[in-house]
Amino acid sequence: MAEPHDIELGATTTMAAKSNYRTESLSSHSNSSELLHEKDIAERSTFFRWFQRAALHCNMEVRGIERVPEDERTASSVYSPAFFWWAVNMVLPAVSIGSLGISAFSLTFWDSTLTIIFFTFLGTLPVAFYSTFGPKFGLRQMILGQIWFGDHLVSRFFAVLNAIGCVGWSALNTIVAASLLHSVNGGAMPAWAGMFVVACGTAILTLFGYKVVHFYERWAWVPTFAVFLVIIACLAKSHTFAPGSLSSGKLEAGNVLSFGATIFGSSTGWATYAADHTVYLPATSSSRKLFLSIFFAISIPLIFTGILGTALMAAAQTTPRLATAYADGGIGGLLYGVMVTNSLHGFGQFCIVLVALSTIAVSCANIYSIAFSVQAISKYFAIIPRVLWTFLGICAFFGLAMGAYYNFEEYMENFMNLIGYWLSIYEAISLSEHFIFRKSSYDAILLPPLLLHAPDDTAVTQEQHAVHRLQLEGNIPPGWAALFAFACGVAGVVVGMYQVWWTGPVAARTSADLGFELAFGFSLAGYLVARPLEKKVFGH
């Protein structure tokens, strides 16, 4: 296929492009002059040019959803994203999720532990797999969806859901951190101030972008891990931990599946961010090394923190003092009871502060990716710089956290759990498109015009847009099969979910949350039926 800078624009060239564009792999376009360098991105928009120049002068990342050229892929090691994910998951919210096995699903320590291990490995597999597309494509995760689902309603709706998830989970994590900080020194720090600290820490890192975020995450896990070791030592010294034994039965199986759905959702939730953190790796990076490093960098800390949360809750089950601490302050109150009350006192409070600040690491993962999700919704949103979208995302999660802390935290958490089912639909469609219909092979794909150039970029002619569109035809699905599969997946969620607001008929019969499993199965079946028909009708 001719590169864009080799094409003479005109009717003859347009016909040639229409008949001959299926020759090279996607990564072969990495050095194309069509790709925009950061200095070009800063100059391309008339309205935001001054802002982008200022951001670039301050060494902020101005690149949004544009493909990353090979000469700007500065990540030094294929293992560098692994440090990022290790820090993101070695945090307090992961401990809180692990505690739910006992507190919410009435499992024993050993039941919860085995569930955490199995479903964490299962949920991490897609995240590690999607991460390998970053170096090959140079594209953010939400833009990869346009290749799998088509530049259509489904890919844009997924981007909307991902943006909601970025803000919602950041807000909930900030509330937990604020509660912990408020517990130190007898409530000396008000909750709003704790939330402001987390928001400011997140802002300082994410506004500067990829390099600063990854530098911070490379070391952020060290103090948190040290505090977790202190917690384990305190538990061992207090002799309050009682593991119990394995149990069995229909009710137990239902609880395992329901808790497993929670664990699966927490680990696979990173799938829609995966490629965002590998696009700066060279196209020649080893996919096998990248897959394995990210798989273990996510699963190991999640399993470690999850089991720690389960152990804390097991201790609370047998110790009235800790049970009261949990009832009064949630997981934060439980940590305070273990490390501070009748234990480490001042040093324990210092450890509490470190654990609370660990939520900045996970908020960075959410807020760094929100800009790419919003830009993927519309070409008009793509005009607005990444830095501005990041700032608006910070303001949104801070404001939402303030409101939820005092009024509707429980409703918000239930809502976030509800919308998490879409991840199974996302994975079912994208994985079947990749393995079954594309057979792991991709034709030469250039980005749609909205991803290469903003609408106010006068340097791009209508003929260039026409050539780009012809190059896309035959390479991305029209999107109707994905839309049908999405509807099927929603039906699977409705019949299989077990939540506060709704219990599906299948879930009611089994006493288990099967929303993730049925959403995946229904959407996969729908796509396998609809995609061949779509290819037959549209030819691509």
Q: How far is CA 521 from the centre of its chain?
A: 22
Residues 506, 406, single domain; the answer is no
CA-nearest of 25, 36, 476 to 284 is 25
Buried b (16+ CB within 10 A) or exposed e, 75-84: beebbbbbbb
- Is 38 contained in some domain? no
- Does residue 5 lie in a domain region? no
Question: Which token pair is 138?
Answer: 């140079």
Residue 5 has pLDDT above 60, yes or no: no
Pair (83, 58) in one structural domain: yes
Give the pLDDT of residue 75: 82
Domain boundary (349, 384, 418) is at 418
Q: Per the domain annotation, does 402 fall within a domain? A: yes
Residue 21: is its pLDDT beyond 60?
no
pLDDT of 28 over the 50 cut: no
Give residue 95's pLDDT. 93
Distances (CA, A) of 178 to 89, 114, 196, 460, 484: 19, 31, 9, 49, 42
Report whether pLDDT(318) > 70.
yes
Q: What is the pLDDT of residue 450?
A: 38
What does pTM read for this prediction?
A: 0.87
Which residues touch 371 (CB under 8 Å, ≥6 apart)? Answer: 64, 386, 387, 389, 390, 393
Task: Give Cβ neighbours of residue 443 (< 8 Å, ≥ 6 apart).
Answer: 21, 22, 474, 475
- Which tokens belong to 539? 């030819």
Reported as a single tens digit per residue, the pLDDT across 85-126 is 999 999 999 999 999 999 888 899 999 999 999 999 999 999
Residues 82 and 110 in one domain: yes
Per the model's pLDDT, the better-predicted residue between 445 and 353 turns out to be 353
Closest CA to 272 of 184, 162, 128: 162
Instruction: Provide mean pLDDT across the span 350-359.
Output: 94
Give domain status of residue 18, yes or no. Answer: no
Domain that holds residue 89: 46-418
Task: Judge whether residue 274 has pLDDT over 80.
Answer: yes
Q: What is the number of domains present in the chain?
A: 2
362 lies in the same domain as 246? yes
In a domain, 26, yes or no: no
The whole-number pLDDT of residue 22 equals: 33
* Statement to judge: residues 455 and 399 lie in one domain: no
DSSP secondary structure code for residue 66 in this structure: S
Cα–Cα distance between 155 and 147 in angstroms, integer? 9
As a dihedral over the C-alpha atoms of residue 234, residue 240, residue 246, residue 251, rounded to 10 degrees, the angle is -110
Res. 69 pLDDT band, cuts 50 70 90: confident
Of the residues 377, 395, 418, the one at which a domain ends: 418
Same domain, 451 and 308: no
Structural domain contains residue 228: yes
Nearest to 216 by CA among 226, 204, 228, 225: 204
Burial of 346 (0-12, 13-18, 19+ CB in 10 A): exposed
Residue 278 has pLDDT above 80, yes or no: yes
The CATH number of whichever domain residue 117 belongs to comes to: 1.10.4160.10
34 in any annotated domain:
no
pLDDT at 322 over 80: yes
CA 330 from chain centre, in angstroms, equals 25
Domain shared by 473 and 344, yes or no:
no
The percentage of the chain sitting over the pLDDT mark of 90, rounded to a whole number, equals 54
- What is the model's pLDDT at position 161? 93
Secondary structure of residue 498 in the 3-state scheme? strand
- φ, ψ of residue 145 to 5 degrees: the values are -60, -30
Distance CA 18, CA 7 (A): 12
The DSSP call for residue 344 is I
Query: Which two structure tokens, joined as six digits, stand for 259?
Result: 């808790």
pLDDT for 501: 81
Q: Terminal CA-to-CA distance of the chain, rounded, Å?
A: 18
Reported as a single tens digit per residue, the pLDDT across 480-522 is: 999 999 999 999 999 999 887 888 999 888 888 899 999 999 9
* Domain-terminating residue out of 385, 418, 451: 418
Residues 1 and 21: their CA atoms lie apart, in Å, by 5
510 or 532, which is more confident? 532
What is the rounded average pLDDT for all residues in the chain? Answer: 84
Cα gap 123→261, rounded to integer Å: 9
pLDDT of 315 > 70? The answer is yes
Q: Say yes or no: 367 and 473 in one domain.
A: no
pLDDT at position 9, please?
A: 27
Which of 411, 412, 420 shows the shortest CA–CA distance to 489?
420
Q: Are residues 377 and 440 in the same domain?
A: no
Examine the domain organization and report whether 119 and 236 are in the same domain: yes
pLDDT: is 18 or 139 the higher one? 139
Cα–chain center distance at 212: 19
Q: Kindly tell me if the per-residue pLDDT of 410 is higher than 80.
A: no
* CA dist list (Å): 11 to 82, 194, 378, 469: 48, 62, 29, 14
Whether 153 shows a pLDDT value over 90: the answer reads: no
Amino acid at 273: Y
pLDDT band at 66 (very low <50, low <70, confident <90, very high): confident
Query: What mean pLDDT is predicted for residues 266-285?
Result: 93
User: Do 524 and 486 fall within a single domain?
Assistant: yes
Say if residue 129 is in the same domain as residue 170: yes
- Cα separations (Å) of 43 from 179, 200, 376, 466? 44, 29, 21, 24
Residue 107 belongs to a domain: yes
Task: Tell me the pLDDT tens digit for each residue of 37-65.
Answer: 888 887 776 788 899 899 999 999 999 99
